Homo-oligomer: A and B are copies of this chain.
Amino acid sequence: MPKSINFCEIAANVRAKRERRKDARPGELIEAALELFVEKGFAATRAEEVAKRAGVSKGTLFLYFSSKEELFKAVVRENLSGQFTEWNAMFDCFPGTTPEMLKFCMHSWWERIGSTKASGITKLMMSEAGNFPELAEFYKAEVIRPGNLLIQRMIQRGIDRGEFRPMDAQKAVYTVMAPMLFLALWTHSFGTLDDASSHLNPEEFLATQLDTLLNGLCAPKPAPAGGINAQGIMAASH
């Protein structure tokens, strides 16, 4: 170990270290940007602040992202768009029933988005969509459209398999989205004010919503007396 210096290894280390640092920069910046954007909004977040939180100088930020808007796009891509490839893949090989799929999706959303800082982006976009139309377009193309499509396909799958009653799948999409978006919005606005009247247990809320949702979507069981609802939807949330 001491004397037998391996030059190749050293060189490799040096290179690796530099590259590791370089490669890490965008991620660190995106992480810092996510936090600040969510905390203070897009317009109110200063580029320099993002840089400082990432531990670099203002100039460095612009070395990796040509503008503040590009930085924001990167944040969206990293935290939201990315999920869809996986979700779409899941859709194609999901073994269970469609209600199960829906449940899985909402749980998955909660785990990866809803319960993380990423949910702040959803709120952010709704707040700032009016200003920054270009960002809004980007967000729609990268997040809303894919999300919409995925949900629509799920609903259609349910209908096709006779699990859901016949309906306009596109219109039902919003019924599915609404609880998740509401949750994201609430927790990032009034949810932070700790007060009984504005406190909401997200997981409980989601469970309730899912239950109600399925109740509305599902085809009536051919079933005996006492329909599916017998199990007490709201009760299920405890």
A residues bordering B, Cβ < 8 Å? Answer: 1, 7-8, 39-41, 43-44, 123, 125-131, 133, 136-137, 139-140, 144-145, 148-149, 165-168, 170-172, 174-175, 178-179, 181-182, 185-186, 188-190, 192-193, 195-198, 200-201, 204-205, 207-209, 211-213, 215-218, 220-221, 223-238
Assuming the A-B contacts A186-B181, A192-B130, are A235 and B236 also in contact, with contact meaning beta carbons closer than 8 angstroms in the complex? Answer: yes
Assuming the A-B contacts A41-B43, A43-B131, A189-B126, are A236 and B220 also in contact, with contact meaning beta carbons closer than 8 angstroms in the complex? Answer: no
Whole-angstrom distance from the CB of A200 to the nearest CB of chain B?
5
List the B side residues contacting A201 at CB < 8 Å.
171
Given A227-B227, A229-B230: 4 more A-B contacts, CB < 8 Å: A140-B195, A174-B182, A208-B236, A235-B238
- Does the CB pair A234–B208 fall under 8 Å? yes
- Does the CB pair A233–B216 fall under 8 Å? yes
Contact of A226 among B125, B129, B192, B225 (CB under 8 A): B225
- Does the CB pair B144–A198 fall under 8 Å? yes
Q: How far is the CA of A174 from the CA of B199 in the complex (A)?
A: 10
Whole-angstrom distance from the CB of A184 to the nearest CB of chain B?
10
Whole-angstrom distance from the CB of A139 to the nearest CB of chain B?
8
List the B side residues contacting A137 at CB < 8 Å.
193
- Does the CB pair B209–A234 fall under 8 Å? no
- Does the CB pair B40–A43 fall under 8 Å? no
- Does the CB pair B130–A44 fall under 8 Å? yes
Q: How far is the CA of A182 from the CA of B177 in the complex (A)?
A: 9
- Does the CB pair A126–B127 fall under 8 Å? yes
Closest B residue by C-beta to A213: B212
Assuming the A-B contacts A140-B197, A171-B204, A204-B171, are A215 and B234 also in contact, with contact meaning beta carbons closer than 8 angstroms in the complex? Answer: no
List the B side residues contacting A44 at CB < 8 Å.
43, 130-131
List the B side residues contacting A192 at CB < 8 Å.
129-130
